[in-house]
């Protein structure tokens, strides 16, 4: 799966837009903060969760892939509470990442253990609850590698490789 992410100034404000299969997905994003911090690129963390964990109620919602045929799954795993939990994780991780240079030069085994444990605690009772902390760490590291790419280039193609549980970035032509 390929998602195109690009920044565009509208009026005097920068927004991030996203496209999949030539269709715009989601809302245009801002930093939602007093001071610019590039939070508008944070959706790559959701793409990393779906790539590595196979879980993202946010991505399911963005792509309109909620499991409507199963009312229980639709309400619980794909519903508002699951989406809020994932957004909470993404925001919590973003705050930690910002204070640690967006995890630049950090590798496996180097993310703060309390961060990983807290993420794991957030998802108790949901599909990814059984994943070990190292899988969460991999998702976060891949997501922030993509985030830093977007910070530098202001645009890119997010490649979600489900088979290999990988998220990677490619340049996106202007």
DSSP one-letter string for 42-110:
THHHHHHIIIIIS--HHHHHHTT---TTSHHHHHHTSSHHHHHHHHHHHHHHHHHHHHTGGGTT--TT-
pLDDT tens, position by position, for the chain (174 residues)?
A: 999 999 999 999 999 999 999 999 989 999 999 999 999 999 999 999 999 999 999 998 888 877 777 777 767 777 888 899 999 999 999 999 999 999 999 999 999 999 999 999 999 999 999 999 999 999 999 999 999 999 999 999 999 999 999 999 999 998
Q: How many domains does the chain have?
A: 1
* Range of the structural domain that residue 52 is part of: 2-171
């Amino acid at each position: 799966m390929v998602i195109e992410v690009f920044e565009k100034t509208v009026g005097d404000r920068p927004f991030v837009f996203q496209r999949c299969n030539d269709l715009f997905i989601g809302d245009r994003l801002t930093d939602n903060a007093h001071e610019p911090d590039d939070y508008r690129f944070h959706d790559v963390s959701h793409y990393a969760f779906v790539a590595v964990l196979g879980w993202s109620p946010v991505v399911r919602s963005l792509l309109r892939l909620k499991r409507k045929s199963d009312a229980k799954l639709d309400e619980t795993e794909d519903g508002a509470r699951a989406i809020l939990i994932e957004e909470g994780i993404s925001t919590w991780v973003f705050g930690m990442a910002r204070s640690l240079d967006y995890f630049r030069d950090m590798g496996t085994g180097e993310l703060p253990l309390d961060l990983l444990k807290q993420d794991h605690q957030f998802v108790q009772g949901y599909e990814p609850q059984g994943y070990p902390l190292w899988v969460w760490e991999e998702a976060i590291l891949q997501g922030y590698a993509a985030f830093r790419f977007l910070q530098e280039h202001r645009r890119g193609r997010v490649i979600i490789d489900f088979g290999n549980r990988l998220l990677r970035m490619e340049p996106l032509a202007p």
